[in-house]
Structure 1
Amino acid sequence: MGEVIRVAVVGKGGSGKSTVAGTLSRLVARQGRKTLALDSDPMPGLALSLGLGHITEPMLTAAVEKDLNGRWQLKKGIGGARAVSQFSIEGPDGVRFLQFGKADELGLGTMFASVSGFGQVVHRIAEDGVLSDWSIIGDLSAGTRQTAYDWAPYADTYLVVVEPTWKSVLTGRRIVRLAEQRGAEHIHLIANKIESNGDLDVIEERMDLAARCVISRDPMVTTADAAGVALIDHAPESSAVASIASLAEGLEGD
């Protein structure tokens, strides 16, 4: 069994971060580690990439109540560890999965309750020092906002997923600066959808970082997404899964 890892997977929308986060979570769990996958993206993605299908359950609404000022707070007795134990669900390979409600499925009141509960839980995990023997992989929402507002206080490592487009690079550069300001111990570039050495050179030059992991453009990723299934189940021998497996092994040394 390897070392515990605490990572946040970030990047522009469509860069492939949910595929990376979901596949990484499955691979880490297969190594015998207790693994928690946290989905703070308001759009569906991580549950599918984990192999859980489309999860509509508004997790954590039962964990919160309104205080005297009408603000959502965790109910008495519910901290980070209890919330994970009580409200997360088990996925393939034993991964525990926790998300807040998705934007297209819930009324605003229910969604706000779920989002508030989720934010408080992830901060309690970090502040209380619980789940110290768990690996945690978080899939943050697309763009820079959640990095700026500290939605991954549990993470000491940021995996910045970038594809060879200017928009993806610009988003990645902003996230790197924000993660540095947040005091991240490790910031790694994940170069995704690479078709040539030229693609990789452009990303590394524009990001001013060497890629920790290079994932070639893989048609199996597209077919898995189209089918709504996990890449690791759809094409376990694919080049993308192999690249993420190498990443998982390397993160143990951070």
Structure 2
Amino acid sequence: MRLAVIGKGGAGKSVVSATLARVLARRGQQVLALDSDSLPGMSFSLGAASAKPLPNEAVERDEEGRFHFADGLDAAGTAQRYAIEAPDGVRLLQVAKAGRAGPAAVEGSVNAFFMIVQELEYAPQFDDWTIVGDLPAGGRQAALGWVSYVGHFLLIVEPTMQAMLTARRVRRIATQARPGAGLSLVVNKATGAADAERVEAFLDMPALAVVPMDEGVRRAERAGVSVLDHDPDSPAVEAITRLAERLEAQTAPHVIPEGPRPPAPCGCGAPARPRETVR
């Protein structure tokens, strides 16, 4: 499976993606978690808060300003070198987080990450792995090519008008960015059946899973830990476990595409465009 979690900021994407990654790993899958958000989130929800991000040194820049992987590595080799082990055997690869120095200080990490996600679809080293990506809020990364590995999107929506309006826009961007990829609705922070029905009606699609509003999740987030560790029997964990089971039953395995690859985008041997990649 090649999954990416998308939706509005604050909808609960990191909790869903991280918990899903660990549940799938517990079910025997090799899981690579991709955190492409420049703000903290997925590592805390995985229980790997001290994880080091992909360093700037993963790439080198030539005289023409083009980025290339360092030490003669390719995308898969770089991912294998710098992905760290998280709980339950999940491997986590995260982009550097923008700090006080601004986005220019993490330009190498961002471009390295972008180059990796562009090539994962073709990497035999990860052919039988499950990939779970946690994207930042909105549809910008999807529109700019950060979802080249994705076979199925999970649209996380809480039952608010702002979240539903954002979800409708993000759904359109994601499906245009990856024609043929599947997309499933996950209603999060639901207080009852009416919440799920409202979101389903607004988006005109059924929910694959409904994750309830859960005080256990709120306590875990306040403590900066994984809800799987803090409250493993919580209703949210149970709902995400059922989501994992449904995804395993419904999602086709990844197949490396045949034929010529599309032209390499910014970062893969092309001049860098930081305004488009550093987000």
Matches within 5 A, 1:103-114: 103-104=98-99, 107-114=102-109
Partner secondary structure for residue 70 of structure 1: coil
Distance 1:252 1:214, change over 3 A: same
1:185 alignment partner in structure 2: 181
Distance 1:248 1:105, change over 3 A: farther
Distance 1:93 1:105, change over 3 A: farther
The TM-score normalised by the length of structure 1 is 0.93
Aligned-pair CA distance for 1:119: 0.2
Aligned-pair CA distance for 1:179: 2.1
8 Å CA contact 1:22–1:46 kept in 2: the answer is yes
Distance 1:92 1:24 in 2: 12
Match of 1:231 among 201, 217, 227: 227
Distance 1:184 1:160, change over 3 A: farther
Amino acid at match of 1:169: M
Distance 1:136 1:240 in 2: 21
Residues 201-248 of structure 1 show CA distances to partners (whole Å, capped at 9, x for unaligned) of 110111111000001100111000000000111110000000000010
Partner secondary structure for residue 102 of structure 1: coil
1:158 counterpart = 2:153? yes
1:45 alignment partner in structure 2: 41
Residues 52-104 of structure 1 show CA distances to partners (whole Å, capped at 9, x for unaligned) of 1144x341322101122123322352222211211110010110000111012
Using the TM superposition, name which of 58-67 and 183-192 deviates more.
58-67
Distance 2:36 2:136 in 1: 6
1:248 counterpart = 2:244? yes
Match of 1:201 among 179, 187, 197: 197
2:110 alignment partner in structure 1: 115
2:70 alignment partner in structure 1: 75
Gaps of 5+ in 1: none
Distance 2:228 2:94 in 1: 21
Amino acid at match of 2:202: R
Distance 1:39 1:199 in 2: 29
Match of 1:133 among 128, 133, 141: 128
- Work out the number of aligned pairs and report it: 249
Match of 1:170 among 136, 155, 165: 165
Partner secondary structure for residue 93 of structure 1: helix
Distance 1:204 1:234 in 2: 30
Distance 1:246 1:234, change over 3 A: same
Amino acid at match of 1:97: L
Distance 1:148 1:179 in 2: 7
Aligned-pair CA distance for 1:105: 5.8
Distance 1:105 1:247, change over 3 A: farther
Distance 1:121 1:217 in 2: 35
Partner secondary structure for residue 18 of structure 1: helix
1:147 counterpart = 2:142? yes
Q: Share of identical aligned residues, percent?
A: 42
Distance 1:12 1:187, change over 3 A: same
Residues 1-42 of structure 1 show CA distances to partners (whole Å, capped at 9, x for unaligned) of xxxx11000110000000000000101111121110000011
8 Å CA contact 1:159–1:189 kept in 2: the answer is yes
Amino acid at match of 1:94: G
2:8 alignment partner in structure 1: 12
8 Å CA contact 1:73–1:116 kept in 2: the answer is no
Aligned-pair CA distance for 1:171: 1.1
Distance 2:60 2:100 in 1: 21
Partner secondary structure for residue 252 of structure 1: helix
Distance 1:16 1:130, change over 3 A: same
Amino acid at match of 2:227: L
Distance 1:39 1:95 in 2: 12
Distance 1:214 1:137 in 2: 19
The TM-score normalised by the length of structure 2 is 0.85
